[in-house]
Amino acid sequence: MILGGLITGLVARWLYPASLHMGLGKTILLGIGGSLVAGLAASWRDGRPWGEGVSRAGCIASVLGAMLLIFIARHF
């Protein structure tokens, strides 16, 4: 989970258009949070339990979830 959070957080930080100054720990937490946001949104939409494996769409959704968390933290 830590490695997946690190990769997701790094990709989200790289794709986010503004400069972000955060350490490795916060990047990992950002990636894990993005994965949780995406998983909860998908399970709410489909009505199925989440955590059914790894998919490309899930990885993209995790990065988008992490970018949403960055946006919320910077603007609210």
Q: What is the pLDDT of residue 31?
A: 93
34, 12 in Cβ contact below 8 A?
A: yes
pLDDT score of 50 more than 60: no
This prediction has a pTM of: 0.83
Q: What is the pLDDT of residue 39?
A: 81
Reference 35, options 61, 17, 12, 53; nearest CA is 61
Tell me what percent of the residues of the chain surpass a pLDDT of 90: 50
Q: What is the pLDDT of residue 33?
A: 94
Q: What is the pLDDT of residue 21?
A: 86
Q: What is the pLDDT of residues 25-37, one digit of tens each?
A: 999 999 999 998 8
Reference 7, options 51, 74, 65, 59; nearest CA is 59
